[in-house]
Amino acid sequence: MSHFKNLKAWQHARALALLSKPLIDRLPASERSGLADQWRRAASSVVLNIAEGASRRGAKEFRKHLDIARSSLDEIEAIIDLAMGLDYLSSEDVAKVSAVRDECARTVFGLIRKLGVPVNS
C-alpha cells in the first residue's frame, strides 16, 4: 500500500480531526469527560487506524483497520447529533465538520470496496 499520507481517506480524516477540535473545546465543562473526550478519541481513531492499516501487510489487515475507522466515523456522527440535540452546538456550527465527516466516510467505504476483501475473511 502507498504511504498513508497519500490516501484521500487519511487526508479527510486528518481534516476532520483538526476541524473537530474547536467544536470539542466549545462543549460545556460538564462534558469534558463525556462527549468531548469520546469525540476526541473517535476523531483520532479514524486518522490512526487508516495510517496503521495502510502500513499492514495484506488487504485483510487493512480492511480490519478501515472497519474500525468507519465505526469511529459513525460514532462521531452520533456525537454531533447528540451535541446538537442537547443544544451545545447548532447545525450551522457543525456544517463544515459534518460535511468533512461525510466525505471521509464515503472515501473510507470506497477504499474498503476497492480492497475487495469480504467482511468475514
What's the whole-number mean pLDDT along residues 30-44?
96
Mean per-residue pLDDT for 87-115?
96
Average pLDDT of span 65-69: 97
What's at 56, amino acid-wise? Answer: R
Average pLDDT over residues 106-120: 86
31 neighbors 88 (Cβ within 8 angstroms): yes
Query: Which pLDDT score is estimated for 120?
Result: 58
Q: Are 60 and 121 in contact (CB under 8 A)?
A: yes
Q: Give the distance between the most distant pair of CA atoms in the chain.
A: 44
Query: What's the rounded Cα separation, in Å, for the pair 83 and 77?
Result: 10
Per CATH, the number for 4-115 is: 1.20.1440.60
Average pLDDT taken over every residue of the chain? 94
The conformation of residue 87, written as its DSSP 8-state character, comes to T
CA distances from 101 to 51, 53, 58, 72 (A): 17, 19, 26, 10
Q: Where are the domains of the chain?
A: 4-115
**Whether the predicted pLDDT of 115 surpasses 90:** no
Write out the three cell numbers for 99: 460535511
Cell of 20: 473537530
pTM: 0.92
